[in-house]
Amino acid sequence: MRGLSGKVALVAGAAPGNIGGATAIRLAEEGMLVVAADLHQAAAQTVVDEITAAGGTAVARGFDITDGQSYRDLINFTVDRFGGLHGLFNVAADLSPQNVGRDTDVMSVPDDVWQHTIDVTLTGYMHGIQDALPIRSSRAAARSSTPCRVPSGWARASTSPTRRPRAD
């Protein structure tokens, strides 16, 4: 990875021992300024402690990916803290004992577990993308086409430089 030094990354789901924590650490190794965010701020702080011990710059933030306002607040915090947002990494998942293993069999998954999984890994990711794209595009001189990683694959979102508030 090249050209990342001094850029700002937000990693949603940055807990130790998972892909989010590893992503935050790797991006910081490349010189990115990282906001490590997780439902449990203490978990994100563990990742931040590892980053800062290695000489990187990072800050932990607690947030609830299923709450659109919480995600908006997180993105605003990131921009206020580091002056921009260059990369959004949606890797949050509910790995709690109440959820893991209960969402793997379509024939027996309880409706509440299914809905929670959708709320975290689809709707939550969408909230982040909706709020991050206008910030990214406002930094561009003209319209841009920005690839965003979403659970179902690659989508291209054409955005205008004007931030439009989304409706919840």
Position 142 scores a pLDDT of: 29
Position 102 scores a pLDDT of: 81
Q: Are 11 and 91 in contact (CB under 8 A)?
A: yes
Position 138 scores a pLDDT of: 64
CATH no. of 8-159: 3.40.50.720
Position 5 scores a pLDDT of: 92
Which residue ranges in the chain fall short of pLDDT 70? 1, 137-168
Q: Which residues pair with 155 in a beta bridge?
A: 148
Distance of CA 21 to the CA centre of its chain: 11
Cβ-Cβ contacts under 8 Å for 81 (sequence gap 6 or more)? 35, 59
Domain boundaries, the chain: 8-159
Q: What is the separation, in whole angstroms, between the first and last Cα of the chain?
A: 36
Position 105 scores a pLDDT of: 80
Q: Reduce the DSSP state of residue 137 to 3 states and report it.
A: helix
Position 9 scores a pLDDT of: 96
Position 1 scores a pLDDT of: 63
Position 98 scores a pLDDT of: 80
Position 65 scores a pLDDT of: 96
